[in-house]
Structure 1
Amino acid sequence: MGALSNLRVVDLTQVLAGPYCTMLLADLGADVVKIERPGGDMIRSNPPFVDDPEAEAYGGYFQSVNRGKKSIELNLGDDEDRADFLSLVEEADVVVENYRSGTMEKYDLGYETLKEHNPDLIYSSIRGFGDPRTGETERQGQPSFDLIAQALGGVMETTGQPDGPPTKTGPGVGDLFTATLNCIGILAAVNHREQTGEGQYVDTAMYDSMLSFTERAVYQQSYTGEAPTRRGNSHPTLFPYNAFETDDGYAVIAAFNNNHWAELCDVMDREDLAEAYPTTPERLENREALRAELADWAADLTNDELVGKLEGRVPAAPVQTTEEIFDDPHVYARDMLVPVEQPGADRDVEIAGNPIKMSETNPEPRGRAPLLDEHREELLGEDADAETADD
C-alpha cells in the first residue's frame, strides 16, 4: 500500500505534463483513473515501439508516464458519458486536467460545477499560462508546449554555447518541472483538507514554472541589471565547474571551492596553479586561461582515467550516454530502471523508476500503462466489449 492509497484521482490529462503529475501520484499509491477522450490520449500512438506498432497497444511515450493507471473512454460532450464522469467525480478526492483555460467550462464541468457535486474536491489544472482564477492575463487560452514555455521562461536564452543559438534542454523540463510542482500543490491541498475539511483549486502554469526554474537568471538580472545569457557548461560564479573533452568522451569537474581546487592541482601535478590562484575571485578572473590548462590535461586521459584520478578527492563524473546508464550498477541498486509488460510485444520494456524513496511506503510503478477503456466494467459496472459492440 502506497502513502497515497487512500486517494482517488480522476485524471483528465494527456500528452506529458499532466500525465507525469498523475504518474507521480500513482507511483505513490493513489488510485488514478485516466479519463480518455474518444480514441484515447493522443500520445498512445507515439513511438518508439518494441517491434510492431500495429500489434502493440501503445508506444514508450505513453507507457512511461501512464504506468499504474486505470483507463476509461468518455466523451464529455455526450450526456450519458458526462453523467458517468460526474459519478466518478463524486467519489474522487482530486481531479486533474491540463486543457486550455475555459475548456472544461464549455462542458459545464469547471471547478465550480464539480465542487457542487463534491464540496471538498481538490481540482488541479496545469496550463501554459495559468487560470484566470489565480491571476488573469491576455495569454490565457493560448496553447502551450514545452518548447514555448522554455522559450518564454528564459531557459533557452541561458542554455547552449556562448556562440551558438538559444537551445532547449533535452528533457522536457517545461512539462516535467511544472508537473512536479503541480503534484506538490495537490499534496499541500490534501494536507490542508485533512486539517480543515476544505477543498480548493490548484493551478500551475508552465510559463510561471520556467521562471521558477531559471531562478538564478532572475536574481542576476535584478542584482546586476544585466540579462544573463548562454555560458555553455560553465557557471557564472563558480570555477572550475565545467565539462572537459577527454580521449574517449567528456567528463565534468566541479572543483570550485578552495580545498577541491588544491586537490585538483595536486592530481594534475600543478602546484604552481594552486599557489597562483588560491581563491575563487582569482580563479574567476583568470578562468579562460585556467580552462585551457584543464582542457589540455583532460585531453590526454580517458574518462575512466580522469574520474579514477579524482575519485574521493574532487567531484567529477563521466558524461554518460543512456547506454552507459543502463550498464551502471548504481541505477539497478536504486530501482531506477523498472521492467513492465508491453502489450502486443514478446518482451518486457524498461521505464524510469521513481526517485522518491521511503522506508515504509516506497513509491514504485504499479504495473504497465492501461489499454484504452480497460477498466470500464470495474469503474462503471459496464462491459467495455459490450459497449463497443452496441456502438
Structure 2
Amino acid sequence: MTRRTVRIAMNGVTGRMGYRQHLVRSILALREQGGLALGDGTVLWPEPVLVGRREHALREIADRHGLTEWSTDLDAVLADDTVDVYFDAQITSARVDAVRRAVAAGKHLYVEKPTATSLDGALELARLARDAGIKHGVVQDKIFLPGLLKLKRLVDGGFFGEILSVRGEFGYWVFEGDWQQAQRPSWNYRAEDGGGIVSDMFPHWEYVLHELFGRVTSVQALATTHLPRRWDEGGKPYPATADDAAYGVFQLEGGAVAQINSSWAVRVHRDELVEFQVDGTHGSAVAGLRGCRVQHRSATPKPVWNPDLPVTESFRDQWQEVPDNLPPGGGFENGFKAQWELFLRHVVLDEPYTWDLLAGARGVQLAELGLRSSAEGRRLDVPELTL
C-alpha cells in the first residue's frame, strides 16, 4: 500500500461550516478512516494546513485535533510549493481576493459558495482558473444528501412521468440574539458584509434544480427583511440590512415550475429543515435531508373537499418510504465528505468533475437576478452562462 499526501491550505476553518463540515467531518474523517483508497493500491492522505486571521483560534483547533501546521500568513502558505490545494470557507466578501492569489500561486481550488458577491467576480474566478489550467471545484453539498440522492434515483428511473412542479420549504427560526444567542453569525444579516438569505440559499437552489430537474430559465422573487433588528455576538443591537426571507418562483427548462420559500424567520412544522415536494403525472415524492416518501398514481387516494365534516383520513400515512438502499460502492455518507472525496480524486486521478467555478457562477447569477427581480417587481430571464 502506497501513501500519497495531498496538502490542503484550509482558509476559514474557524467558522462554523469550515470547522464542522469541512475540517472535522470531511478531512479529519478521511484521516480517521486511514485515508482515501484510490483503487490501485494507493491511499490518498489529506494533510490540512489551517489558515485564518485569528491566531488563538487556529492554535486551539490545531491543539484539539493534534494538527501541527497553521498560519495567519496566507501568502506564505500559498508560496509553499508543497501545498497542492487551496480551500476557502471565509466570509464571502473576502473570497475573491484570496482565490485570485491562490490561482496566481498555481494551487488547485475548492471553494464554498457563493463564490463571489457578484456575477462578474464569480466569472472572473472561473476564467482565471481555466486560463491557469488548474483543477477547481465548488461545494454543492445538498445533492449528496441521502434524501436528494433517493430523489435523483426516482427522477433517473422515470418514476414521476412528466414532472410538473417542485415545491421547496427551507428555514427555521434564527434567534434575534437578545434573549437567546443567535445560531448564525451576525454578518449573515448585514448586506454590507455580503449577508442575506438570497445570496446564501439561491446558489443552493440553482444546483439542486439544475442537477435534478433542469436548468433554471427564469426567476421571480420577493426578498424581505422580516426582523429588522438583531443583536451581534457581543450582545450589541444592530440594524439587519440584509434579507432574511425570500419567496421564489423558478421556471425550469422543459416546462416544470419550482417554487421555493427560504426563511430564517419561520418556525418549523415539517419533518426536516428543508423539504422538496415533486409532483408528476405518474407519481409524487417528498424528500428531505435524509428521508424520501412517494405516492404513485396507482395508489393515489381520491379526496373530496368538504369543509362541513372533519377529516378522517391521515394523508401522511398514504405515502410510502423510499428504502435506504445503498448506492453503488457503499452507503450514504456525509454530503460534504462525499464531495471532498470526488474532488480529491479529480485532482489526483483527473477523474471527471462537473461542479466547477462555472457551476458556482450560475448560483451567484441566480442570486443576483433574484435580488433584482425583487427590487424591480418582475420576472427575469436567466441566460445560460459560458466563459
Q: Same fold (TM over 0.5)?
A: no
Which interval holds the TM-score relative to the shorter structure?
0.3 to 0.5
Taking structure 1 as the reference length, the TM-score comes to 0.34
More strand by share: 2
Identify the structure with the greater helix proportion.
1
